[in-house]
């Protein structure tokens, strides 16, 4: 069946409603909440701190370490078993790689900067929401960065290329294609790219263009949230 | 722990003053928000006590009743001390602190008969509801014991049964029917530092605690759970004084739920 | 044609373009990317001539020679002490840099500074991230007595101290508290009344939160004057 109208009524190039907030974990060096649709991610940054065991230290650079975790009640079906899974380990890894191209830890040799990402509620696009929150938390912590990273999923649903798939769209007719992306929009670089499903090369090009424009919109929201933490202070 | 901080705190206490100016038996502001993960969890809540923030969620599953209680359902409580919430917490399997906290929260709910276990049984010997309560600190600024216990009760209060179809849970459809939450066993932890008793410590105060006593109290004043912690002992008179504080404070806590 | 894209004191984010063209020069926390100057921090724009720099709003403390810092004793050895100064690696205070007194070889150094003690010291050498030497020889450098410790971002310390120490003097005058501010963002304070300590902390937090908004000194005077009456 041709996908004429999106299940939730959005335009094909429209994001779900996005909310972002900086400084949500007071004890952390930096933190942020990112909500897209019903997916809610919280990120907190600790460090730079000494990396143990010492053999993991990089003598010329700091190490960025991400940890992605779904709260046990955050899944759409059964309770998620606590503790790392193969899925969460892989996501932690690709999040790290999505952020590394913009993060400069050369001044912190031998240390680690930890980014903990917790999903409170999930409804598609969790790793992308996690990356958006993590980038904001790193900026909030004052870690040197060449750019922010913005992240969104695109995909093919019923033959149409769409931005920011919902859970229902991911499940559409059992064979939607889901492409998770992240961009440094200033540098014009893709820093996360994972796909489940099938597309033609032409469709992929189109999808990446759509993803980039989606990330530009997300970046505006991230920037606004980062500034809002300081603009609002006098009124508190 | 640093001596100069302990010394300073005790000096403050001797002037009837705490770090942030509170009275010994005064909690920080408490806020409870329900349904913070309403798409995913059957029940959920956020509790903030000052800067301490804890999330709790309830998931429901089906299971076969235990042979020793064939006509009852059951609960399970799990607290994870997320490294996101405190730089001292480490990734990995739950440490002993998380296990103790889980069991203390569990004990108050179970022994206080918060949920009517009989009503959690669907068919004796065949099918029961398992109520899974997961608790996560998001920011640890002290007193996770009371925040976790309060968050668990708030999430239970928020929870509704999902539909069952063909013997399986249809998580997307709620029946709108609340859990059989018949009592609210509220917990208050009283801390002893030097010769002083106080509630709701901030992190700096927590570091110099000599002993603590978590007391679960029902609406009629009945005590339903106790847990003594800390490296120092308490004499029976002290226990009595601490219980007295807890009974008084749980009356206040009851109002925030 | 070179063009400045931001204003002095504007809040900017990492990755934000600050200026176009080769006439402007990158200062602290600013990088050049082809013909553009780009911020690498969340911070406030500072301009001095053609130099564009960022004053970060938050960030880790990085030890520099000459900094006065507050540290905690975390190790007591034979030749000196290991000190946590809010940097990922411990710094070193050797016996000879700690005191001019004669300490016999092999004596128990915990008699002088013990685990958990706080000291205010000067950083005299930063050889690498892991080799940092401290000294306690200098005016005001000492072991700290009973008091309160608070931590603020090291990036805010210059504002808390103020020009020639004017801001922190203001807080001291109004509250009567003794206050020592470490460049690493650790602050020790002690007052003769708990309420005065609380006011000093409130004042420091206010400076910390509003450091980027102009007119801070006047606002602080007004705040302290008003709050003083409540004591």
Q: Tens of pLDDT along C179-208?
A: 999 999 999 999 999 999 999 999 999 999
Chain B CB within 8 Å of residue A121 CB: yes
- Here the ipTM equals 0.95
Nearest to C40 among A104, A223, A226 (CB): A104
Query: What's the mean pLDDT when you consider all of chain B?
Result: 96
Q: Is the Cβ pair C14, A184 closer than 8 Å?
A: no
Residue-range domain boundaries for chain B? 3-256
- Give me the half-sphere count of Cα atoms (radius 13 Å) on the Cβ side of residue C150: 20
pTM: 0.96
Q: Which CATH class is domain C3-56?
A: mainly beta
Nearest to residue A163, comparing CAs of A99, A208, A219? A208
B141-169: pLDDT as tens digits: 999 999 999 999 999 999 999 999 998 99
In a domain, A10, yes or no: no
- CB-CB: which of C40, C42, C209 is closest to A146? C40
Of B36, B139, B171, the CB nearest to A25: B139
Does A233 have pLDDT greater than 60?
Answer: no
- Same fold across C3-56 and C148-228: no
Full 3-state SS string of chain B: CCHHHHHHHHHHHHCCCCCCCCCCCCCCCEEEEECCCCCCCCEEEEEEECCEEEEEEEEEEEECCCCCCCCCCEEEEEECCCCCCCCCCCCCCCCHHHHHHHHHHHHHHHHCCCECHHHHEEECCCEEEEEEEEEEEEECCCCHHHHHHHHHHHHHHHCEEEEEECCEEEEEEEEEEECCECCCCEEEEEEEECCEEEECCCHHHHCCCCEEEEEEECCCCCEEEEEEECCCCCCHHHHHHHHHHHHHHHHHHHHHC
Domains held by chain A: number:
1
Q: Exposure string (b/e) for B228-251, b if CB count within 10 Å is 16 or more?
A: ebeeeebeeebbebbbebbeebbe
Give C128 to chain A, closest Cα distance, Å. 9
Tell me which CATH code domain C68-143 carries: 2.40.50.140
Q: Which residue of C has its CA nearest to A104?
A: C40
Q: Could you say which architecture CATH assigns to the domain C148-228?
A: 2-Layer Sandwich (3.30)
Domain ranges of chain C: 3-56, 68-143, 148-228
pLDDT digits (tens, 9 = 90+) for A20-75: 999 999 999 999 999 999 999 999 999 999 999 999 999 999 999 999 999 999 99
Residue A84, in any domain of the structure = yes
**Domain carrying residue A53:** 18-235
Residue B134 has pLDDT above 60, yes or no: yes
Q: Which of B83, B136, B172 sits opposite A71 (nearest CB)?
A: B136
In a domain, A5, yes or no: no
- In-domain check, residue A87: yes
Q: Is A112 on the interface with B (CB under 8 A)?
A: no
Residue B1 confidence (pLDDT) above 70: no
- Say which CATH number the domain at A93 has: 3.30.230.70
Residue A217 lies in a domain: yes
Q: Do B51 and A26 touch (CB under 8 A)?
A: yes
CB pairs A-C closer than 8 Å? 88
Q: For the domain bounded by B3-256, which CATH number is listed? A: 3.30.230.70
Axis crossing angle, helix C194-210 with helix C166-175, rounded to the nearest 10: 150
Res A141: pLDDT: 98
Asked whether the beta carbons of residue C116 and residue B19 sit closer than 8 angstroms, the reply is no
């Amino acid at each position: 069946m041709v996908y004429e109208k999106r299940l939730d009524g959005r335009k094909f190039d429209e994001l779900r409603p996005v909310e972002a907030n900086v400084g949500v974990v007071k004890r952390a060096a930096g933190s942020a909440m990112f909500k897209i649709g019903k997916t809610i991610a919280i990120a907190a940054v600790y460090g730079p701190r000494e990396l143990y065991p010492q053999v993991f230290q990089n003598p010329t650079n700091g190490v960025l370490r991400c940890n992605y975790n779904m709260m046990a009640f955050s899944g759409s079906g059964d309770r998620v078993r606590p503790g790392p899974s193969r899925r969460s380990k892989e996501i932690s890894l690709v999040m790290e790689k999505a952020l590394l191209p913009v993060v400069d830890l050369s001044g912190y040799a031998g240390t680690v900067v930890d980014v903990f990402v917790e999903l409170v509620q999930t409804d598609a696009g969790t790793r992308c929401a996690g990356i958006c929150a993590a980038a904001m938390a790193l900026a909030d912590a004052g870690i040197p960065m060449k750019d922010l990273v913005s992240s969104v999923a695109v995909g093919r649903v019923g033959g149409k290329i769409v931005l920011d798939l919902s859970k229902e769209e991911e499940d559409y007719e059992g064979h939607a294609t889901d492409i998770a992306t992240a961009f440094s929009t200033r540098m014009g670089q893709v820093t996360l790219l994972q796909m489940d499903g099938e597309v033609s090369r032409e469709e992929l090009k189109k999808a990446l263009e759509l993803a980039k424009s989606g990330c530009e919109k997300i970046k505006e929201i991230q920037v606004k949230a980062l500034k809002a933490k300081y603009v609002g202070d006098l009124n508190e | 722990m640093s001596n100069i901080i302990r010394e300073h705190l005790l000096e403050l206490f001797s002037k009837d003053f705490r770090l942030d100016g509170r009275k010994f038996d005064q909690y920080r502001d408490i806020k409870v928000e329900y349904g913070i993960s309403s798409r995913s969890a059957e029940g959920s809540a956020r509790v903030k006590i000052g800067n301490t923030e804890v999330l709790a969620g309830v998931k429901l599953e089906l299971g076969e009743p235990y042979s020793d209680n064939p006509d009852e359902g059951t609960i399970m409580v799990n607290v994870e001390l997320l490294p996101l919430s405190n730089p001292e917490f480490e990734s990995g399997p739950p440490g002993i602190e998380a296990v103790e906290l889980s069991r203390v929260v569990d004990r108050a709910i179970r022994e206080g008969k918060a949920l009517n276990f009989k009503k959690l049984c669907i068919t004796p010997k065949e099918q029961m509801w398992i109520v899974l309560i997961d608790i996560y600190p998001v920011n640890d600024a002290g007193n996770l014991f009371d925040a976790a216990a309060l968050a668990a009760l708030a999430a239970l209060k928020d929870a509704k049964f999902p539909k069952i179809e063909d013997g399986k849970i249809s998580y997307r459809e709620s029946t709108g029917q609340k859990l059989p939450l018949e009592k609210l066993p509220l917990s208050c932890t009283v801390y002893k530092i030097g010769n002083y008793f106080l509630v709701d410590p901030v992190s700096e105060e927590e570091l110099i605690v000599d002993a603590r006593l978590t007391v679960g109290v029902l609406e009629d004043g009945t005590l339903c759970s106790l847990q003594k912690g800390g490296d120092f002992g308490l004499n029976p008179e002290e226990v009595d004084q601490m219980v007295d504080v807890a009974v008084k404070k749980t009356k206040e806590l009851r109002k925030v739920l | 044609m070179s063009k400045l894209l931001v204003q002095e004191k504007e809040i900017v984010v990492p990755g934000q373009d600050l200026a176009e063209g080769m006439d402007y020069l990158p200062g602290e926390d600013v990088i050049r990317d082809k013909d553009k100057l780009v911020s690498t921090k969340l911070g406030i724009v500072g301009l001095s001539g053609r130099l564009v720099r960022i004053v970060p709003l938050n960030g880790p403390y990085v030890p520099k020679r000459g900094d006065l810092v507050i540290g905690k004793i975390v190790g007591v050895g034979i030749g000196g002490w290991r000190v946590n100064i809010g940097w990922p690696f411990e710094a070193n205070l050797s016996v000879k840099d700690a005191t001019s007194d004669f300490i016999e070889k092999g004596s128990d150094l915990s008699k002088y500074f013990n685990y958990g003690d706080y000291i205010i010291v000067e950083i005299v050498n930063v050889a690498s991230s892991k080799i940092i030497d401290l000294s306690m020889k200098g005016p005001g450098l000492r072991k700290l007595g009973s008091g309160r410790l608070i931590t603020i971002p090291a990036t805010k310390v210059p504002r808390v101290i103020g020009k020639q120490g004017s801001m922190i003097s203001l807080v001291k005058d109004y509250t009567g508290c003794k206050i020592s501010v470490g460049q690493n963002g650790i602050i020790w304070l002690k007052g003769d009344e708990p309420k005065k300590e609380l006011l000093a902390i409130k004042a420091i937090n206010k400076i910390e939160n509003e450091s980027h908004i102009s007119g801070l000194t006047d606002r602080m005077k007004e705040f302290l004057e008003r709050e003083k009456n409540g004591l």
